[in-house]
Amino acid sequence: MSIAASFLERSRYYLCREYPAKIRPAVEAMPADRLWWRPNEQSNSVGNLLLHLSGNVRQWIVSGVGRQPDVRKRNMEFAARGGATAAGMLDGLDATLREADQVLRGLLPSELLERRAIQGRDTTVMEAVYHVVEHFAGHTGQVIWIAKMNAPGAVRFYEDGDGIATPLFLGEGEFEMGAGRTDA
């Protein structure tokens, strides 16, 4: 497998399997009244972060890389103070990630160096994918931290034994690696 094909597979894995497999149980463990809690006005709630992740993935991958219309209203992701439920936002994020996975799965490794204009930036497809993965990782950590703070002991992702951390979030329905296009 080429480095480019490996990059695309690993990106799909993080975005469509590992990060959502951590976000969903973390959010579901939280008390419902804490979904829109903010420590201060300059910070985001878990609700804002879920809206923001969906908006970012849609803008950068579905629209930018996949060339679908960009309908994002970024400022509304941060302005929201309630209304949407955790289940609704998680389902919406999952739907966005399925669309992003279709885009990523359909990419040829040779397309990674193609240029795109996304969010007012001139970037390559590879840079856009890399940005989304690292961006999603950072906010996944924030969601987990807020959930652990609001549901002590309820959020756990690894079984530690003999110095080895075994993921608890993998299992049935494991992400199917090797399902993308690898021809150049």
**Is 159 strand, coil or helix?**
strand
DSSP state of 31: -
Residue 177 forms part of a structural domain: no
Residue 45 forms part of a structural domain: yes
Residue 184 forms part of a structural domain: no
Instruction: Give pLDDT, residue 171.
Output: 63
Residue 89 forms part of a structural domain: yes
Residue 182 forms part of a structural domain: no
Residue 13 forms part of a structural domain: yes
- 119-160 pLDDT, tens digit per residue, is 999 999 999 999 999 999 999 999 999 999 999 999 999 888
Instruction: Give pLDDT, residue 168.
Output: 87
Distance between CA 106 and CA 98 in Å, rounded?
12
Mean pLDDT of the chain: 92
Residue 70 forms part of a structural domain: yes
Residue 137 forms part of a structural domain: yes
Q: What is the 3-state secondary structure (H, E, C) of 106-143?
A: HCCHHHHHCEEEECCEEEEHHHHHHHHHHHHHHHHHHH
Distance between CA 69 and CA 62 in Å, rounded?
8
- Whole domain around residue 39: which residue ranges? 3-167
Cβ neighbours, 10 Å, residue 92:
16
Within the chain, which residues score under 50 in pLDDT?
A: 172-184
Counted domains in the chain? 1
* CATH of residue 33: 1.20.120.450
